[in-house]
Amino acid sequence: MYRLLDVDRVVIYNTSCGPELDRLLQSYSQEGFVEMVPWPIHRYLTPSKGWLFSQSGGDVHYFGQMTTLNECIYRSMERSHYVLLDDIDEIIMPYKHNNLMSLMDMLQKQQPNT
């Protein structure tokens, strides 16, 4: 889907996946479209498995999501003009634009100081 929206690169933080998915992701990685980042956070910390930390416990909130997002921002800051942070089951779909870049260009013109 991201290729259809003219996205240049997708970074995936992989905590685990099966062999079939791993093979597919490796093929995208060899093409240069996907960057795979091994993310075995559960080996070092106990991530909570729910949004409500007081009920889920753990050393770090919700699978270490905030840490992952921060790492992605720093990883991308010198090589990307725009960074979209979303979960694998989410997608930003522009409905007035043909792709994400034209949407971002329009938003940049509307909010030049952002």
pTM: 0.82
The answer to whether residue 2 sits within a structural domain is no
4 within some domain = no
1 lies in some domain: no
Q: DSSP letters of 50-70?
A: SS-HHHH--SBSGGGHHHHHH
pLDDT tens for 96-109 read: 999 999 999 999 99
Query: At residue 24, does pLDDT exceed 90?
Result: yes
pLDDT of residue 10: 94
30's CB contacts (< 8 A; 6+ apart) are: none
> Rounded CA gap, 107 and 23, in Å?
37
Q: Is the pLDDT of residue 19 over 90?
A: yes
What total of structural domains would you count in the chain?
1
Q: Is the pLDDT assigned to residue 22 strictly greater than 80?
A: yes
Q: How confident is the model at residue 52 (pLDDT cuts 50, 70, 90)?
A: confident
pLDDT value, residue 83:
92
Q: Is residue 46 over pLDDT 80?
A: yes
Q: How confident is the model at residue 18 (pLDDT cuts 50, 70, 90)?
A: very high
H helices present in 1-114, as ranges: 19-31, 53-56, 65-76, 100-110
Q: Let me know if residue 17 belongs to a domain.
A: yes
68-93 pLDDT tens trace = 999 999 999 999 989 999 888 888 99
Provide the residue range defining the domain that includes 102.
10-110
